[in-house]
Structure 1
């Protein structure tokens, strides 16, 4: 039986272990990120369980982010979801302000058509990128970030359509988180052999994926928050990133010797965001080196105005 996560259901999660935490389903059969966040949620709950039985995590419905926000507020269909943060979401929902991938989502490489490689090799600044058109999800916070930087952006509410449109040449590029593009293209190699990740440019802006609940689910939010904090303190969150197929391939960070970075502002970043605590975030300086990579645990994978930064 599905439980609406009212106060009664929160008590059930804390005390009985019989209830469920309902989350959206994967965006498609190729959505490799869904399992990353599901596993991370399970680990956080387990880490801070303190004797409480663990609830089942149940994917119940596919939905884009705009609808997910509304459903979390109601608490009738889903109880928790992971989304890119912005001020609006943090006002409407209970944000668990711990970046789930140390801000990697704000390091964006471009998925493009292979036959456009020469065109992109001529771009060295943001003004030149203004001439091209990006494709993004309809309700994604980074859609606004790109638009506020003066970039042309088309949108779709359907995740898989984003790849289809780039492949069809109806837009020029699809910015993806540093950890996303390579894995996404590998999953879709048979469908879109003409797509590639452009290796010589990276967009960067402060950005994070958080877990969100409805404000009525404070007990659940605190449980997850405590678990994530414990995972950060003992290095388990970073270890999760190093081991999971979605993120393992980005380590060491010093492998990304891009010719240039394009820095974008994020006006939608909440003032409550602590971007100075290096336990939670990667920053561009980490990619130059070596100092951060030396301190990584030796784990092998299981399976501002716009400004140019030279590496």
Structure 2
């Protein structure tokens, strides 16, 4: 009897590295990491095994984008999109937080809620000083909408700057503010106002990393199709707790324009995957 030896082709391991620099303890980053892992799992029958790693690199958003662009150390990021970022990197146009990232509430100093409760129109906010990251798309959006913005290169610097009265308020995405306020006892989440502008958060990879982009998009679309994305969003402890705390229906909502969206991303915003009003989350 002759035994035939069949050599199965080796399956490539997809190594997926994200920046964990100063981020591993942030609850909202945990949401994105878990969602990425679910998408990679969904795509495993078609694309094979993977290894997901956090690496201590990417000190700023600009630095992280450069690392991904050149496929150096980091090869995936989750961040708010813009025309510039879509020129530099390859976006996977599935909104990761459905639109919640465009609902901006504020960190303010303890004892200043009454001051903000007196605000009744957008011009009141425009006359104050907002704090933002120097390389964030939000900074350009706020300035284009006639807001006064003070910037810092490092994300963590903004909390001490707010405490030291370098500016008046720090607009944050709904899913960011509460965990950050918990880290800084001298700060609180403002209770009466909300800024809204369309601001999808996408996964991004290098333009040369088309296989990884295809894999992540395939996994996310599978999740959309089988309902597991909606289940993850609705049942994830972080997104559930944020929506419960935010009390959106009792806030004054000021809608701004976002001039940084590409035509392709604008189409995504008009799809059923994306909520176009913060009140839709209630």
- Normalised by the length of structure 2, the TM-score is 0.89
Q: What are structure 2's unaligned runs of at least 5 residues?
A: 1-9
Aligned partners of 1:180 and 1:246 also within 8 Å: no
Q: 2-side partners of 1:253 and 1:162: how far apart? A: 23
Residue of structure 2 in register with 1:42 after alignment? 37
Question: What is the SS of the residue equivalent to 2:45?
Answer: coil
**1:50-69 pair list within 5 angstroms:** 50-63=45-58, 64-69=60-65
The CA deviation at 1:129 is 0.9
Aligned partners of 1:166 and 1:174 also within 8 Å: yes
Residue of structure 1 in register with 2:145 after alignment? 149
**1:153-164 pair list within 5 angstroms:** 153-164=149-160
Aligned partners of 1:25 and 1:59 also within 8 Å: yes
Question: What is the SS of the residue equivalent to 1:50?
Answer: helix
Residue of structure 2 in register with 1:11 after alignment? none
- Normalised by the length of structure 1, the TM-score is 0.81
Aligned partners of 1:86 and 1:270 also within 8 Å: yes
Residue of structure 2 in register with 1:258 after alignment? 250
In structure 2, the CA distance between the partners of 1:22 and 1:284, relative to structure 1 (3 Å rule), is closer
Superposed CA offset, 1:265-287 (max 9, x none):
00001111121112233524515
Q: 1-side partners of 2:91 and 2:68: how far apart? A: 11
Aligned partners of 2:196 and 2:253 also within 8 Å: yes
The CA deviation at 1:44 is 0.3
Aligned partners of 1:27 and 1:159 also within 8 Å: no
The CA deviation at 1:149 is 0.8
Q: 2-side partners of 1:21 and 1:181: how far apart? A: 28
In structure 2, the CA distance between the partners of 1:198 and 1:253, relative to structure 1 (3 Å rule), is closer
Count how many residue pairs are aligned between Structure 1 and Structure 2.
270
2:192 to 169, 193, 200: 200
RMSD: 2.0
In structure 2, the CA distance between the partners of 1:276 and 1:57, relative to structure 1 (3 Å rule), is same
Larger Rg: 2
Q: 2-side partners of 1:143 and 1:254: how far apart? A: 23
Q: 2-side partners of 1:285 and 1:25: how far apart? A: 32
Superposed CA offset, 1:53-105 (max 9, x none):
32111122332111122111111221111111001111221100111100111
2:20 to 25, 37, 41: 25
Residue of structure 2 in register with 1:6 after alignment? none
Question: What is the SS of the residue equivalent to 1:111?
Answer: strand
**1:1-311 pair list within 5 angstroms:** 15-17=11-13, 19-28=14-23, 30-63=25-58, 64-186=60-182, 188=183, 192-251=184-243, 255-273=247-265, 274=267, 275-287=269-281
